[in-house]
Structures are given as C-alpha cells and as structure tokens.
Amino acid sequence: MNPLSVLYGAVSGARNALYENGLIRAHRLKGPVVSVGNISVGGSGKTPFIIMLGEMLKANGIRFDVLSRGYGRQTTGVRQVDESGTAADFGDEPLLIARRLRVPVIVGESRAAAGQFAEKHFGPQLHLLDDGFQHRSLYRDFDIVLVSSEDANDKLLPIGRLREPWSALARADAIVLTNQAEEKLPLPKQKIVWRVKRGLRLQSAPPRPTAFCGIARPERFIEQLRATGIDPVAKFFFDDHHAYSRDDIKRLEQLQQKNTSGGFITTEKDAINLGDLALTLGTIAVARVTMELQHPTQAIEAILERISRKTN
C-alpha cells in the first residue's frame, strides 16, 4: 500500500478510535438524526437518496429537516437555504434538496450548530444529515451508508477515492447497495442491507445532443443516458460542483457547432450551477437522477424502530 494511504488510514483510524472510546464526545441534538453517507469521495448518489428518503418520510407524515455542510458555497456560518438563492449562497446539492423536498435545509460548517439552529426555529423533529458518515462530532441515531462495487476494490485517499477502509462499514446501521453492487460483496455480518435502483428521468432530448456535466463520476451519467437510448454526439466534463462561467458557455457552444448538435443534455445538479447562464445555451434538457428502494416500507420501519429503541 502507498505510504500516503497508510498515513491517511492511520490518522482516520486514530480519530475514529477517540470517538469509539469516548475520549471525544459527539454532540447530541434533541431530535433524532439519520445520517446518509458513504466511504468514497463523491458519486455514490447521496443527494438523490436523501431526496428519495425525504419523499418517503413525507409520505408517512414524518416532519424533518436536512442538515448539510453546504460544500462549494461562498458564504460561511449557519444559514437556512432559500430556494430562490444560488449555489454560491448555499451549495448546489443543498439547494437542489431544498427545491425538491420543500423542507427546511440548513447549511453550516458545524452540523451540530446547524442542528441547533433547526431545532430553535422548527422544533426537535427528525434531522437528515447529508454526507454525515465521517462527521462524527454529531451523534446519529441511524447511519445509512451507500456503497458500490467500485468501493470494494478501491484504495484509500490520496491514491484512491476511499475516505475510510471497507472495514468502516461496521459502524453502519444500514448499507445501501448502488450501481448494481452485488450482495456477495464482503459486507459486515448482521447488518441491514438495502438495494436501490438508479435511473434517469428525462422528458425529451434534443436531436444529436451534446452532453456535459460537472459531477464526481461523469462517465456514469453517459452510461445512464445510453441505457435510456440516448447516445450523445459529443460530451464535455467539468470538475465536480463546477461553477459555470461565460467562457464555459462559449466552449460548449463551440463543441455543439463542431458536432452539428441539436442541443444539450446535463444533470439537475449542473442546472443548479448554471443558474441564469442556462438560458443562453438555447435548447437544453435536464436529466433528473431517480432512485427506487426495494421494500421501502420495511426500510422506514427499520429506521423508526431503531430510533425509538435509542430514545426510550
């Protein structure tokens, strides 16, 4: 193993040991906390999973809010996401969650401070913690971790994409298999295992589309487009959470003209980051990532049962 990965793993392991041995205490909120996270850097589908889980909670009449770091925003401190705001104000994923779920979404470098803000303004309801598996300073009542087959064969940062080794899944309450991950993966025993089906929803696509995106695993977006019968004539990838500029628009327009493309296709997250610049691109279709959880009723029951057991 690369020495840098060994060092990273040692630091991560030492930090986790401090929490597990009670030498560092996690802050508890009054309301229960359900964390959604992963063990790799980006691309696991946390945001669409939170949206799906939020829709399930709403369907069951359960009040909740969402706590997020607000990665990529240009502001600081604890703030409630305004649906009419921008990615620069709140981060692209929190803004997307707020627009889709229409529930309070609170961003803050400290998720504990964000939770305190939420409870002051909305009461001690259930909190969904976005990207919370490694954020151990906030106590959680139920830990959901999304994994893919790629994670099982990956390496620790900075060589690979893993934030933690595969063995960290022992801390999870539920493991969600994504991206056609197989249940034969070396998962910890006696863990709840869920499977999600991931797809794209697209009302219509322009002829000979040019696809572009700024997400963690861009090739997966192209694969999903092709699975729906859409084969882009050109593609362009930006960095994850990319903040688009007028120069980017010119570059995309040049690519479109070069390939005689009839328009563009991008992701819902990129549409957030484009903002008003999307209007200058002409014909553009926005693909929405969808997730479908097998046995959703049992999943909600498992979460509520575990929460009830910990709070009683």
Predicted confidence (pLDDT) at residue 275 exceeds the cutoff of 70 = yes
List, for residues 63-116, the tens digit of each pLDDT value. 999 999 999 999 999 999 999 999 999 999 999 999 999 999 999 999 999 999
Q: Is 34 exposed, middle or buried (0-12, 13-18, 19+ CB in 10 A)?
A: buried
Question: Does 187 score more than 70 pLDDT?
Answer: yes
Do the domains at 3-197+294-311 and 200-291 have one common CATH topology?
Answer: yes
Q: Counting Cβ atoms within 10 Å, is residue 89 exposed (0-12), middle (13-18) or buried (19+)?
A: middle
Q: What is the pTM of this model?
A: 0.94
Residue 58 has pLDDT above 70, yes or no: yes
Model confidence pLDDT, tens digit, residues 7-16 = 767 778 888 8
- Give the rounded percent of residues in the chain with a pLDDT score beyond 90: 82
Domain ranges of the chain: 3-197+294-311, 200-291
Beta strands 105-107; 64-68: pairing state = parallel
Q: Is 30 within 8 Å of 90 (Cβ atoms)?
A: no
Residue 1 pLDDT more than 70? no
Fold of 3-197+294-311: Rossmann fold (3.40.50)
Task: Please state which CATH number belongs to domain 200-291.
Answer: 3.40.50
Question: Phi, psi (5° rounding) for residue 101?
Answer: -95, -25
Sheet containing strand 79-80, strands side by side: 79-80, 105-107, 64-68, 126-130, 33-38, 142-147, 174-177, 192-201, 284-293, 263-267, 209-213, 234-237
What local confidence, expressed as pLDDT, does residue 183 receive?
A: 66
pLDDT of 270 over the 80 cut: yes
Identify the sign of the CA torsion 21, 26, 28, 29: negative
> How large is the average pLDDT for residues 300-311?
89
pLDDT grade, residue 312 (50/70/90)?
A: low
**What Rg do the C-alpha atoms of the chain give, in angstroms?**
20
pLDDT at 100: 97
**pLDDT value of residue 8:** 63
Averaged pLDDT, 187-206? 92
| Average pLDDT of the residues of the chain | 93
Q: Label residue 17 by pLDDT band (50, 70, 90).
A: confident
